[in-house]
């Protein structure tokens, strides 16, 4: 039988009524002829309650115990979902991570999949079970202890199961009805996309669109798992939501398909750095060691007068999340004190935001950057840093212009038009 | 190192403060030189919440899913207890039933122990772990699914671990400070016992004293596990609570050590039953099949005129819990309709209670029954049914005299005096 993976997040299983509503969507797919693997999150609020207890008990908690406690939330939902389906006459049973088993690394609270053997679940499907309800977000390490996967773990579980079981599609039911050209809270012209390519979704996810976690999209891209994002709270059918798929499946794509933003960015400039081979490594290795997520990097000629420096010098600018600035500053000052790097000044701007346009079509179209810069210039928005990838152009601008920039770019690329 | 099992019930781990309080008691035993296995229940209220969800989802629920959901309560407490101990500097880790593994039968919600292999926990003790925190009330069946043990399951888990690991003692921390000569709510003269024999505790437990479940005492008796009942909410030391132990450990025992009662009893009499071999089986087999817990049985000569019955006839009286009367009546009427038994009338008295005196010393002392009957007669309490075992005498009386009877017997056997 063809197989579907369906994932329901915390708000979609927040109480017994919502679990029932989700189960009805599962039942419909079973009636259409699918075997289904359902991945569930904890009922919303439950994970926070459990995490709160752990943190109150032990601020520097043992991550193995944290995982054992926190994973119980998903186990409860899995059992309740199986019971709800049984009550509707659908042959179903629940599976906890260790029962499948979902084998992961032993990096507790941030574990990664090792493998998901199909044997146990396949056997039950062969015996007539139509729905396997699997507790998301968790697994088991080789020492037989429970692991959790970290943020977005249930989405990642869903994609991993879809890959392991060769599912026709992986449907992610959530509290939004799809992926939009940009955040509808910023412009009412935002339009839901019928389809989006994996690579585009990956850029949008990593740029701050909250619909899907980067990790689950990466996994979907790697295993070519067709992902669909759709709403738990609306009537849905085969055409609902947004399909994240291979670009070959998308007949006609615009040059730009989305405008993303990231609000809480900071720009850090090391002024008058010695320009020598290895200087980048000397700067960015300590930042990585300090856990700073460096995003954009620009090496530019300083506007300062270099007369007092005998060798070649440069300025080095990078961006990172605002809440990592203190850590970044300390890493740089420590590296300077240790003599690994030298700079005259460290200038921080915490009032910046990142705005990006994303589109597969950029690969074959010139002029996207020019159009983007013109649209921003028309609004008198100054660009502080530019960075580009094959399918994305990002700029750092003053945070106060962020909404304006998103609206201007959405208009300039006519994203409101299908 | 000597080993202790300590069990904390739901009210003893109801919130983080109480878990900490319980952990302090564990820490004290570790400092005294014990390795400790801690058995925990779910935080009070949590099991009811989970059971409520299951029952609301599916009235005729799949017991395997019920067990998977309900067992999660104990898993949370186990992790939090391990974290609390770690925070105090005590090397501890949590174990869920399947991790030990606690192998049980597949009778879900009423599973029985098959075996508890020591290897995994012993290995961690050998590596320096001082406390194994084990989720009570649960196990794993041979098909790899989670089981629960039914009522009193955590006490039973504690005794089973004490037996499997050869513990010096099994301490049951609860919301009372020991076992009393009778219920202190019925007479303020009730006195806490320092020691009580397994067999006496077993009679008291099955007679309705709520401190320990019958099943855990049976297991303790079979494996000679010394059990101690003591309070979670008071300062405790080596001499606290009540020790349930082999009678050899009790130097001087009174003839009677406790007065127990069971309030919600009913008396059912089958009037004019044919007195022939096999008649008892013909009556009590259908009652057992109907799930009626028959307690006392008396076969007596009827006061009626037997002239219209050619053969020998008798009356058959038995007692059962009040809420099983309807089931018992139907079982008898069905058996009569099927021609398996014959009787003239079925008389039910739902206004009776059972009062019992219990004591190992009865074995070697005559006159206990006489003293009991005299004490009741002095209060003009009529005895309806009598039943005796080696260490117990029970009577069925009108329910309205129950408290009076308990007080009179407590006085008559001078149980207030040590």
Instruction: Give the model confidence (pLDDT) of B357-396 as tens digits.
Output: 999 888 888 889 999 999 999 999 999 999 888 899 999 9
> Is A34 a residue whose pLDDT tops 90?
yes
Q: What angle do CA A390, A391, A397 make, to 5 degrees?
A: 100
**Which pLDDT belongs to residue B141?**
97
**Which pLDDT belongs to residue A211?**
81
User: Which residue in chain A is spatially nearest to B94 when comparing CA positions?
Assistant: A65
How many Cα atoms occupy the beta-carbon half-sphere of A171 within 13 Å?
26
* SS3 (DSSP) at B355: strand
**Which pLDDT belongs to residue B313?**
80
Choose from A93-97, A319-323, B149-153, B181-185 the range with maximum mean pLDDT: A93-97
Which of A27-41, B379-393, B403-417 has the weakest average pLDDT?
Answer: B379-393
**Which pLDDT belongs to residue A321?**
92
ipTM > 0.90, yes or no: no
**Which pLDDT belongs to residue A213?**
84
- Residue among A57, A79, A87 minimizing CB distance to B83: A57
- Residue among B69, B86, B96 minimizing CB distance to A62: B86
For residue A222, give the DSSP letter.
Answer: H
> Is A186 a residue whose pLDDT tops 60?
yes
B42 vs B70: CA distance, rounded Å: 9
- Residue among A66, A68, A86 minimizing CB distance to B96: A68
Partners of A83 on chain B (C-beta within 8 Å) are: 54, 57-58, 61-62, 65-66, 69
Question: Which of A74, A76, A92 would you mutate first to test chain B, the one with the most B CBs within 10 A?
Answer: A76
Q: Do A82 and B93 touch (CB under 8 A)?
A: no
- Model confidence band, residue B306 (pLDDT cutoffs 50, 70, 90): low
Model confidence over A333-367: pLDDT tens digits? 999 999 999 999 999 999 999 999 999 888 888 88
**Span A256-262, average pLDDT:** 93
Q: Do A83 and B61 touch (CB under 8 A)?
A: yes
Q: Which residues contact B52 (CB under 8 A, 6 or more apart)?
A: none
**Which pLDDT belongs to residue B279?**
84
- Prediction pTM value: 0.84
Partners of B99 on chain A (C-beta within 8 Å) are: 144-145
DSSP-derived pairing of the beta strands A138-140 and A146-148: antiparallel
B307 vs B304: CA distance, rounded Å: 9
Q: What angle do CA B321, B324, B329 make, to 5 degrees?
A: 125
* List of long-range contacts for A277-285, beta carbons under 8 Å, 24+ apart: A279/A316, A279/A341, A280/A316, A282/A335, A282/A340, A282/A341, A283/A316, A283/A332, A283/A335, A283/A341, A284/A318
**Span A396-414, average pLDDT:** 96
- Model confidence band, residue B278 (pLDDT cutoffs 50, 70, 90): confident
Which of A71-85, B19-33, B310-324 has the weakest average pLDDT?
Answer: B310-324
B interface toward A at CB cutoff 8 Å? 16, 19, 50, 53-54, 56-58, 61-62, 64-66, 68-69, 72, 75-76, 78-80, 82-84, 86-87, 93-94, 96, 98-99, 120, 144-146
The two structure tokens encoding residue A104: 């992961």
Q: Do B76 and A62 touch (CB under 8 A)?
A: no
Q: Do A99 and B69 touch (CB under 8 A)?
A: no
**Which pLDDT belongs to residue A121?**
98
A interface toward B at CB cutoff 8 Å? 16, 19, 50, 53-54, 56-58, 61-62, 64-66, 68-69, 72, 75-76, 78-80, 82-84, 86-87, 93-94, 96, 98-99, 120, 144-146
User: Which residue in chain A is spatially nearest to B100 when comparing CA positions?
Assistant: A144
Size of interface A-B (CB pairs under 8 A): 101
**Which pLDDT belongs to residue A306?**
54
**Span B332-355, average pLDDT:** 94
- Model confidence band, residue B99 (pLDDT cutoffs 50, 70, 90): very high
Q: Do A69 and B58 touch (CB under 8 A)?
A: no
**Which pLDDT belongs to residue B126?**
97
**Which pLDDT belongs to residue A390?**
87
Task: Return the percentage of chain A with pLDDT > 90, whole number.
Answer: 77
Q: Which runs of consecutive H residues, i.e. helices, occur in B189-324?
A: 198-206, 214-223, 279-289
Q: Do A87 and B145 touch (CB under 8 A)?
A: no
| Average per-residue pLDDT for chain B | 92
How far apart are the CA of A417 and the nearest CA of chain B, in angstroms?
Answer: 45
In the block, tokens 């720009």 appear at: A267
Partners of B58 on chain A (C-beta within 8 Å) are: 83-84, 86-87
Partners of A61 on chain B (C-beta within 8 Å) are: 83
Model confidence over B35-62: pLDDT tens digits? 999 999 999 999 999 999 999 999 889 9
How far apart are the CA of A95 and the nearest CA of chain B, in angstroms?
Answer: 9
Per the CB < 8 A criterion, the answer to whether B392 and B356 are in contact is yes
How far apart are the CA of B65 and the nearest CA of chain A, in angstroms?
Answer: 5
Which of A410-414, B247-251, B337-341 has the weakest average pLDDT?
Answer: B247-251
Q: How far is CA B180 from the centre of its chain?
A: 15
**Which pLDDT belongs to residue B309?**
59
A394 vs A296: CA distance, rounded Å: 9
**Which pLDDT belongs to residue B305?**
55
User: Which residue in chain A is spatially nearest to B84 when comparing CA positions?
Assistant: A57
How far apart are the CA of A75 and the nearest CA of chain B, in angstroms?
Answer: 7
**Span B284-309, average pLDDT:** 77
How far apart are the CA of B172 and the nearest CA of chain A, in angstroms?
Answer: 24
How many Cα atoms occupy the beta-carbon half-sphere of A173 within 13 Å?
29
- Residue among A53, A94, A120 minimizing CB distance to B16: A53
**Which pLDDT belongs to residue B346?**
95
**Span A263-267, average pLDDT:** 94
**Which pLDDT belongs to residue B358?**
94
Q: Do A80 and B93 touch (CB under 8 A)?
A: no
Listed in order, strand segments (DSSP E) in A45-168 are 92-95, 103-104, 113-115, 131-135, 138-140, 146-148
- Model confidence band, residue B311 (pLDDT cutoffs 50, 70, 90): low
- Model confidence band, residue A222 (pLDDT cutoffs 50, 70, 90): very high
Residues B401, B403, B406, B408: what is their CA dihedral angle, to the nearest 10 degrees?
Answer: -70
Beta-bridged to residue B299, according to DSSP, are: B316
Partners of A80 on chain B (C-beta within 8 Å) are: 53-54, 57, 65, 69
Q: Do B82 and A62 touch (CB under 8 A)?
A: yes
Q: Which residue has the higher pLDDT, B378 or B151?
A: B378
How far apart are the CA of A158 and the nearest CA of chain B, in angstroms?
Answer: 21
**Span B246-254, average pLDDT:** 84
**Which pLDDT belongs to residue B139?**
97
- Residue among A65, A98, A146 minimizing CB distance to B83: A65
Model confidence over B160-202: pLDDT tens digits? 999 999 999 999 999 889 999 999 999 999 999 999 999 999 9
A297 vs A389: CA distance, rounded Å: 12
Q: Do B99 and A57 touch (CB under 8 A)?
A: no
Q: Do B99 and A145 touch (CB under 8 A)?
A: yes
- Model confidence band, residue B397 (pLDDT cutoffs 50, 70, 90): very high
Please state the φ and ψ torsions of residue B308, each to the nearest 5 degrees.
Answer: -80, 0
Which of A9-23, A116-130, A158-172, A379-393 has the weakest average pLDDT?
Answer: A379-393
- Residue among A53, A72, A79 minimizing CB distance to B65: A79
Based on its alpha-carbon atoms, the radius of gyration of chain B, rounded to whole angstroms, reads 24
Q: Do A16 and B56 touch (CB under 8 A)?
A: yes
Q: DSSP readout, B13-43?
A: GSSHHHHHHHHHHHHHHHHTT-EEEEEE-PP
**Which pLDDT belongs to residue B275?**
78
- Residue among B16, B54, B69 minimizing CB distance to A56: B16
From residue A259, alpha-carbon distances to A189, A190, A393, A413, B45 in Å are 12, 9, 10, 9, 48
How far apart are the CA of B215 and the nearest CA of chain A, in angstroms?
Answer: 28
B244 vs B230: CA distance, rounded Å: 11
User: Which residue in chain A is spatially nearest to B87 when comparing CA positions?
Assistant: A58
Q: Do B84 and A58 touch (CB under 8 A)?
A: yes
How far apart are the CA of A157 and the nearest CA of chain B, in angstroms?
Answer: 20
Q: Do B58 and A86 touch (CB under 8 A)?
A: yes
Per the CB < 8 A criterion, the answer to whether B116 and A102 are in contact is no
Structural domains present in chain B: 3-175 (3.40.1160.10), 259-412 (3.30.2130.10)
> Is B269 a residue whose pLDDT tops 90?
yes
């Amino acid at each position: 039988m063809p197989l579907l993976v369906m994932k329901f997040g915390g708000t979609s299983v927040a109480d017994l009524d919502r679990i029932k509503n989700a189960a009805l969507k599962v039942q419909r797919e079973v009636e259409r002829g699918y075997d289904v693997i359902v991945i569930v999150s904890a009922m919303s609020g439950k994970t926070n309650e459990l995490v709160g207890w752990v943190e109150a008990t032990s601020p520097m908690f043992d991550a193995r115990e944290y995982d054992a406690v926190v994973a119980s939330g998903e186990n409860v939902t899995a059992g309740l979902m199986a019971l709800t389906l049984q009550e509707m006459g659908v042959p179903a049973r629940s599976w906890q991570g260790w029962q499948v088993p979902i084998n992961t690394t032993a990096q507790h609270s941030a574990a990664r999949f090792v493998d998901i053997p199909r044997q146990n679940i396949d056997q039950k499907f062969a015996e007539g079970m139509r729905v396997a309800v699997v507790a998301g977000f968790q697994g088991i390490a080789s020492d037989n202890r429970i692991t959790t996967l970290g943020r977005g773990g249930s989405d990642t579980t869903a994609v991993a199961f879809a890959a392991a079981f060769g599912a026709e599609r992986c449907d992610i039911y959530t509290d939004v009805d799809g992926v939009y050209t940009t955040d509808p809270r910023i412009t009412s012209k935002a339009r839901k996309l019928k389809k989006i390519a994996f690579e585009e979704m990956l850029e949008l996810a990593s740029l701050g669109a909250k619909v899907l976690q980067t990790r689950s999209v990466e996994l979907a891209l790697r295993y070519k798992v067709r992902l669909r994002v759709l709403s738990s709270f609306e009537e849905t059918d085969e055409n609902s939501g947004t399909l994240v798929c291979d670009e070959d499946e998308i007949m006609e794509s615009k040059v730009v398909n989305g405008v993303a933003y990231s609000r809480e960015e900071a720009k850090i400039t090391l002024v008058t750095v010695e320009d020598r081979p290895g200087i980048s490594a000397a700067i960015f290795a300590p930042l990585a060691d300090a856990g700073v997520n460096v995003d954009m990097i620009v090496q530019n000629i300083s506007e300062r007068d270099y007369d007092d420096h005998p060798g070649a010098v440069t300025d080095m600018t990078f961006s990172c999340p605002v809440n990592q600035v203190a850590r970044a500053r300390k890493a740089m000052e420590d590296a300077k004190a240790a003599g690994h790097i030298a700079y005259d000044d460290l200038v921080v701007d915490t009032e910046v935001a990142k705005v990006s346009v994303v589109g597969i079509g950029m690969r074959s179209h010139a002029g996207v950057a020019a159009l983007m810069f013109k649209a921003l210039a028309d609004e008198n928005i100054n660009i502080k840093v530019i960075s580009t990838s094959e399918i994305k152009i990002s700029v750092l601008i003053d945070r106060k212009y962020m909404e304006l920039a998103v609206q201007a770019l959405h208009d300039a690329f006519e994203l409101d038009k299908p």
